[in-house]
Amino acid sequence: MAKVLIGIGGGIAAYKVCEVVSALAKLGVEVKVILTAAACEFITPLTLATLSRNPAFTDRDFWQAKHGRPLHIELGEWANVFVIAPLTANSLAKLAHGFADNLLTNTVLASTCPILLAPAMNTDMWEQLTVQRNWQQVFADPRYHSVGPGAGVLACDRIGSGRMAEPSEIIAHIKSLLHTKGKKDLTGKRVLISAGGTREFLDPVRFIGNPSTGKMGLALATAALHRGASVTLVHAPINGEIPLGVKTVGVMSAAEMQKAMLEHFSSADLIIMSAAVADVKPANYAREKLPKKALPSSLDLAFVPDIVAELGNLKQPHQKLVGFAAQTGDIVTPALEKLQRKKLDAIAANPIDKLNSGFASENNQAILLDSQGRQVEIPPCSKLEMAHLLYDFVQELG
């Protein structure tokens, strides 16, 4: 069972951490919580103990000899991932300089697992030179990872940066750290990803499209970002939040996606085509909405550019190109044919006729194949987990 230790600092954003604790517990993760003295002014240990199904610890527990071993040692050795949210300016300064004057900071020094920091503070506080210096200094230790802060309306009514990352972002990063154990094996790599379903319009309101929501592409972008990559996401219409830190290019049609992918292709080290690109488009486009009586009884179609094949022809030796093949029935045979014909380094063949898999689902499954003949089956899992498994597979490409 995965073990996540969450340290809560003294800030109004502490209430958001309840959602993180509750969601992790429901996923079967074992969660334990440390509250600083200031955190107890905003939220009670009883609340966190109830949500986590474990005792919630405070400095009062730290200074009492009621545990068999020192509590900070026990908790530090126990955790697979350590999260500090909200991270206050005070706690950040202690981390940057190695101070250990409470249970939270002592446990940090007694731990060896990855630590995820989710800062939250007033904009002026966050932008102080000393705070920014401490923020940069703490990442000299590769154990530290960050999520946020974002920008928006703060509790002080200020609009600006310093807002703690949303619970969904924190949970996604925790899941990534549990998989990678903190490794950033894509650091220095530039990853280019396509996502979403392109639309080919007959008139301003009617189009040929597909059910893709772009969730797989978003998961790929999230996983790459968490593994240290610089990520560019070229996306048709999608359904989901784009992670902070991902460069985005919005498109609609296959031609627009082709143009955007070609513009960014030469600078990318790894290219993943997860978009569901239309194969055909209406041969004629009406600039004004066609009345129902004017709709053609048969539709003349034209083929759209084959983006993956074009990129395969342009690929340089240092680049890796990965495709997706959404299939029904036999998924391996057509995927292998696509892999070879389009000069891909690897392909993910995923069934779209399986329950809770493929388009619009939160989960997916696939068979990964590469040009060297490897085949790895990914059983049903979350799309974020599948993204990480795909990156693990790609890292082993020759």
Does residue 86 have a cis bond before it (omega within 30 degrees)?
Answer: yes
CATH number for the domain harbouring residue 243: 3.40.50.10300
Please indicate, yes or no, whether residues 246 and 339 belong to a single structural domain of this protein. yes
Average the pLDDT over each of 134-143, 188-197, 214-223, 282-291 and give the range with the smallest value: 282-291
pLDDT tens per residue, range 364-374: 999 999 988 89
Q: What percent of the chain has pLDDT over 70?
A: 96
The residues near 163 (Cβ < 8 Å, ≥ 6 apart) are 13, 120, 148, 149, 150, 151, 152, 153, 154
Tell whether 185 is covered by a domain. no
Q: How high is the pLDDT of residue 157?
A: 65
Is 289 annotated in a binding site? The answer is yes
For residue range 226-266, list pLDDT tens digits in order: 999 999 999 999 988 898 899 999 999 999 999 999 999 99
Mean pLDDT taken over the chain: 92
305 is an annotated ligand-binding site residue: yes
**Tokens read off for 330:** 């036999």
Which residues are known catalytic residues?
Answer: 156
117 shares a domain with 195 = no
- Lowest-confidence segment of 33-42, 103-112, 158-167, 224-233 by average pLDDT: 158-167
- Residue 235, domain member (yes or no): yes
Same structural domain, 242 and 102: no
Which pLDDT value is given to residue 92? Answer: 97
Q: Is the pLDDT of residue 112 over 90?
A: yes
Of 180, 202, 234, the domain-final residue: 180
Q: What pLDDT does residue 376 have? A: 94
Average pLDDT of 340-360? 87
Confirm whether residue 307 is marked as ligand binding: yes
Q: Give the domain range for residue 231.
A: 190-395
Q: Per the domain annotation, does 125 fall within a domain?
A: yes
- pLDDT at res. 179: 96
What is the structure's pLDDT at 380? 93
pLDDT of residue 150: 72
| Same-domain check for residues 371 and 261 | yes
In this prediction, residue 156 carries a pLDDT of: 61
* Sign of the C-alpha dihedral computed for residues 167, 169, 173 and 178 taken in this order: positive
Domain stop point among 156, 180, 204:
180
Both tokens of 337, joined, read: 């044919």
Give the chain's domain count: 2
Question: Looking at residue 215, what is its pLDDT?
Answer: 94
83 has binding-site annotation: no
- Range in 85-99, 148-162, 302-316 with the lowest mean pLDDT: 148-162
The verdict on residue 82 lying in a domain is yes
* 122 and 147 share one domain: yes
Q: How confident is the model at residue 176 (pLDDT cuts 50, 70, 90)?
A: very high
pLDDT of 326 over the 90 cut: no
Does residue 160 have a pLDDT over 70?
no
Same domain, 272 and 376: yes
Q: 152: pLDDT confidence band, cut at 50, 70 and 90? A: low
Looking at residue 48, which CATH number applies to its domain?
A: 3.40.50.1950
Cα–Cα nearest to 222, from 276, 165, 300: 165
Residue that wins the pLDDT comparison between 173 and 69? 173
Q: Given a cut of 90, is residue 63 above it in pLDDT?
A: no
Average pLDDT, integer, range 192-213: 92
Q: Are residues 171 and 240 in the same domain?
A: no
Residues 154 and 273 in one domain: no
Q: Say how far apart CA 385 and CA 241 lie, in whole Å.
A: 17
Pairing state of beta strands 159-163 and 150-153? antiparallel
324 is known to lie in a ligand binding site: yes
Residue 333 burial by Cβ neighbours in a 10 Å radius (0-12, 13-18, 19+): exposed
Under the banding of pLDDT at 50, 70 and 90, the label for residue 398 is low
